[in-house]
Every structure is written in C-alpha cells, then in structure tokens.
Structure 1
Amino acid sequence: MSLLGRDLAIDLGAAGTRIYAKGRGIVLDEPSVVLRDRQTGRVVGFGAEALDGSDGTDGETYWPISDGLPQDGELARRMIRHFLRKVHRHPFPRPRLVMAVPDEFTPIERVALRDAGFEAEARGILLVKHAIAAALGAGLPVRDGAGHMVVDIGRDATRVAVLSCGAVVAAGTVRGGGNAVTRAVARLVEDEHGLLADEREAESAKLRATREPTGNVLIRGRDADTGEERAVALPAARVREAAVQPVEHIVRAAEHTMERCPPELTADLGERGMVLVGGGALLPGLRRRLQEGLSMPVRRAERPSDSVALGLGRCVEDLGLIAKLRRR
C-alpha cells in the first residue's frame, strides 16, 4: 500500500479541490488555484499557499478548473500532482483515483479528465457522474425508483440534475454559479458608490454577508474617477439582494430540467423537492427564494460544500458501488 498509494477520491471544483482518502475521510481542502511569477511565468505556489503568496508579490493567480474539467491541462495536472503528493507525503504516490465527470460530458471531456489524472501519476481512474456523487454525499437514496433533484451551486456553474434508479434522467447547467453573485456584488458597489472592487474583495464581502445576516459589510475598492482606494459600508441585506438575478437563472434551469422528466418523476419532485449542495448553497435566503419560485420543498445538504467529495468517498470505500450504479 505504501508503494502504490491509498485509494483516493478527488473532487475537482472550480473554487476548491477536496481529496478523500479511504478509511480517513476528507484529508485535503484547498483552493483550486495556481500562482505564477508574472515576469518568468514560473509556478511558485498551489492552493492555499498560492493565495497567501499572491499578496504583495509580483505573481498572478490562475484557476485551471472550470465546470469540473481542466481548462488549462498543464496547470491542472501539476496542481493535482502537488495535492496528491501532499496527501501521501511521497514524491511518487501512484494512487487509484475516483473522480467526478460532468453529467452531460463529451468523449473528449472524459478523455481530458482521465488524462489529467494519469499525467498526475495516478495508477487508475474510475469516473462517477457528478450528480450521482453529489446525491450520495447528501445522503439521498439514489438507487430507488423515486425521483430526486440535486442542485449544485459551484464557483462558475450551477448544475441541476434529476436522478432515479441510480441514473441521471435529466440534467442542465447554468453558467455562472457563486461567481455570478460575486460579480453582481462588484457591480452593485460600482453602480452605487463608484468603486471598482476586485474579485477577491467582492467574494469576501459576499461571504461576510453570509456569516453576518444583519448589520453592515465593509468593502474596499478604487475610486473610478480618482483611482484612490477607499471603503464603503453596505448593509448585508443589500449584498444578498445582488443574488436575485442569478437565483432566477437557477429557477429557470430547474424548471427546464423538470420539463424533460416523465410525469411520474415530476410528481415525485413536487413531493420530495430538491437538495442544494455546493458552496453557493450557503447563501442566506437562497433556499426560500428557490422554494417560492418552484413551489416545491427545498433543503440544504448537511455538508453542502463537501457533498461531492463525500459521495466520491463512498465509492472509494466500496468500489463495487460504482459497478452497481453503472448496471442501472
């Protein structure tokens, strides 16, 4: 085992990467980011150290994962390999990996994901559909005949899927997940206060508004006219209001996905509703807005940010489960 490496599940998210080790649970949770020297182009950091090192240095951050797939193959491969070595504390871990593949994937995308894993020195790759992994991690009985809806709100995309009998019956994707809310916060600050807030500042304001539902949130930016840096205090409720339009897009995607389901599954969804996973599911008021827009029950998974990793982890603990799901 020490030579071949422990079986691992890896959830490649646009915002963060989580690794689940067999028998140990989630052992790594870091941002999916790479830091490169602006002058030489040399990679100088991955994950948390990349974000920490980007302050006060002449470095530029890159996010090589989008919608669960490598967008920059070279940087994605190096980042995955760095994380695997960090988990195993060995220069050549050679683990067997369970990874999530988008529900509506092309053969090219499947090959790209497998190649990224193999080039990061994995000895084997097992792929599980993203919605199946999210549902398993949220505790849904995915193998029964009833219909279940899972909505995963990630950094750059929101995935909607209806499951039954261990298979994905219908799926859809909305471009712009939690990042759409971040951009909406930045637009709000610019339109109302003439400040240009960068993505990290707008993201921080969004998260503070999530943790502090009352009171004000301080956000910094550069004055669009003078270039001077200053800060303004925004009511936390006002920051959350910026999420209204992205939420409407999610409602429409859920409606469109339901329209493609058999009537009996649609009836199940009206009774059972949907489960929210992903980091964006933590936004206060989101569950209520979706419930009002869709007229169905909406609940949030117990550990929404970890749901996909936990679902993949269930497959790592029982590799036979993957075969059972594929037979459905």
Structure 2
Amino acid sequence: MSLFRLMGQDLAVDLGAAGTRIYSRGRGIVLDEPSIVTCDTRTGKIVSYGADRPAGGDDASGPAGGTRAVRPVGGSDALDREFTQRLLKHFLRKVHAHPYARPRVVMAVPDDSTATDRRDVQDLAFEADARQIYLVRHALAAALGAGLPIGEPAGVMIIDIGHHTTRIAIVAGDRVLTTRSVRSGGAHVNGSIARLVERDHGLIVGDGDAEAAKHGLGTAWKPLDRQVTVRARVPETGHESRVTLTAQDLYEATSQPADVIVRAAISAMDGCPADLAADVATRGAVLVGGGSLVRGLGRRLRARLGVPVRRAERPRESVALGLGHCADDLALAARLHAVRR
C-alpha cells in the first residue's frame, strides 16, 4: 500500500447543516451528501449516514419506518457534537476507502467565529482522524469558489444563504471586514410554503415536498403564472393529496424570510466604512448557497439594496470549491488560516 494512500489525500470539507461536500486535491468534488444521521427510534443506535438511508427513513422531523433522521451539524448539545464527529469521520473514510487514512483537511469557519469556536472545529477534525487542519473564513472560501480574486483591495458583498442561516460579509483583499448572520434560509422558505398550503388548502406539506416545490419552478422571476404541483397530506386521514401553486404564490409566500435577508444586507452596508460601501455599490453582491436559488430573491436584493446582484455559477458548491482552491494550494491555505489572524 502506498504511503500517499495511507496518509490520505489533501481534502477540503464543506460541512453544512443541510449537506456536506468534500473536495479532493486535483480531483474536484468527490462527495456531496446530506448531513444526516439516521437512528433507530427504539435504541438510538446509528443505522446509516448521509445518503445511505434505509427505506422509510427520510422524514427528518420524526420517526418513520422505525428510524429517525437527524441533522446534527450546528446543533448545540453533546449528542449533536458526537453525531457530527461520527458523520465527518464516516465521510472522510468513504472518500479514502481506508480506515486508517489521516488526511490534511481544509475547512471553513464562520466569519464571526471566536478562538473557542475555531478550536472546536479543529478538535472536531482531529477527532475525525485528520492529521492537519487549515481553517478558512467562510466568506473568503465562498468568494474564491465564486471566482472572485482574493487580494484585490476593493470591497464586495458575499451573501451565503444556507439551510437555517444566512451569512453576509463584506470582504476586501483577504480580510473579512463586516459580517452579519441571521436565522433565515432554505428551511424558513420551506416553512413559508408549508404554511401557505395549510392556510389556503388545509393540507400538510413536509419539508422535502416544500423543497421540491421551491426548486421545481426554477430561479427565474417570470412567468408568474408558471405552476408547480406540490405533494401534501390530508391532516385528518394522512392520505396523500396534491395542490397546484403558481410562481406568484411562492414569491409571496417567501417574502418574509427574504425580507429578513434584505434587512441584514442593508445593515452590513450601513456598518462598513464609506469607501467600502462605495465599492459594493459598484461591484455589488454575489449570492452563494442552496438558498440563493429561491425564485425572485436576486430581484428583491437588487431593488432594495440598489447594487448589482449576481448568483455564483455553482452556488451550492461555492464554499467547497473555494476550500478546494486552498487544498490544491496549501500555501494559500496557510496564508488564509483563520487561527493566525
């Protein structure tokens, strides 16, 4: 067995609340799976990780077929941390196909993270058998993955819309200068869609079906009369039903979580120096994250912020790709290493 295989490939890991992506040096993204641990509802024992879930275990909100699917990443209790560590270890071993591989790993940390937060991420990676860990601030990774040059002094806004949280940052050079974080993301949009269907049709929509409806209409603003069929359940009987929604319905349903993001972006601009605000007015904002695919969001932001807004070419993968640049160039990873800054 080669020493290279035993020591492990250099990897970049985007460990998100909704999904995890792993980039292997020189190969690109080699793993893209949901950040889910599936447990037996009777014993609490883990039965599967990620996409390897048993039939009937897709309901992340409660028991189904004797299993319960849990999203531990970002959770606050000890069990969430244990599940996150075991999930990460499983994914790293899945990429290497060897139980003793100890790779060098690049991971992202929140832009407003404390020294304690960063040590926690390091400890998590070491517990998952990484032999060396580089930490890169989230916004810098997203900027790299969206194709923005790191090192230019002009400021640009990065808006990363995740499953539960939206992170907003203004970056200039290799520094993160202004940050905002709000509890609004893809899960909140799904909840708004579910409440719309319950209010107007008296039916129950699960998170997965709301997610499918959201993406079924695509990201374009028009036509407003375009329709999508949503799978739902009759609350009294549990029988399956279906309801048709238009793009206008979904646009209106998602206005509240979108407005939370807009207000946070305005606050970020108000909180940065005048010269950087002028840069953002010219260079605009870049949207990344799976939540950025919500229909009409870019239009809302352009109208409210008065700056150019574009979506990254691969928004769901931007952070992983940016971390991957660092895995390909460990000198860059060392320069951006958050613990030293």
What interval of TM-score do these two structures reach, taking the shorter chain for normalisation?
over 0.9
**1:227 positional shift:** 4.7
**1:195 positional shift:** 1.0
Separation (CA, whole Å) in 2 of partners of 1:71 and 1:249: 30
Query: Is residue 136–residue 336 contact of structure 2 (8 Å, CA) maintained in 1?
Result: no
* Count of residue pairs the alignment pairs up: 328
Within the alignment, does 1:83 sit opposite 2:72 as a pair? no
* Partner residue of 1:44 out of 42, 47, 54: 47
**Secondary structure at 1:255's aligned position in 2?**
helix
Within the alignment, does 1:242 sit opposite 2:253 as a pair? yes
Percent sequence identity is: 51
Gaps of 5+ in 2: 59-63
Separation (CA, whole Å) in 2 of partners of 1:47 and 1:292: 38
Query: Is residue 7–residue 101 contact of structure 2 (8 Å, CA) maintained in 1?
Result: yes
Match of 1:269 in 2: 280
Match of 2:328 in 1: 317
Match of 2:141 in 1: 133
**1:62 positional shift:** 0.3
Change (3 A) 1:211 1:274: closer
Separation (CA, whole Å) in 2 of partners of 1:98 and 1:298: 28
TM norm structure 2: 0.90
Separation (CA, whole Å) in 1 of partners of 2:304 and 2:136: 31
**1:125 positional shift:** 1.0
Separation (CA, whole Å) in 2 of partners of 1:182 and 1:229: 19
Within the alignment, does 1:149 sit opposite 2:157 as a pair? yes
Within the alignment, does 1:301 sit opposite 2:309 as a pair? no
**Counterpart residue identity of residue 186, structure 2:** G
Separation (CA, whole Å) in 2 of partners of 1:120 and 1:266: 41
**Counterpart residue identity of residue 142, structure 1:** I
Change (3 A) 1:53 1:88: farther
* Partner residue of 1:30 out of 30, 33, 36: 33
Match of 2:21 in 1: 18
Change (3 A) 1:158 1:258: same
Separation (CA, whole Å) in 1 of partners of 2:200 and 2:108: 41
Query: Is residue 70–residue 116 contact of structure 1 (8 Å, CA) maintained in 2?
Result: no
Gaps of 5+ in 1: none
Match of 2:264 in 1: 253
What is the root-mean-square deviation in Å for CA atoms of aligned residues? 2.2
**1:324 positional shift:** 3.0
Query: Is residue 45–residue 53 contact of structure 1 (8 Å, CA) maintained in 2?
Result: no
Match of 1:189 in 2: 197
CA deviation string 1:108-163 (max 9, x = no partner) = 32222112111111111110000000001111122111001100011111100000
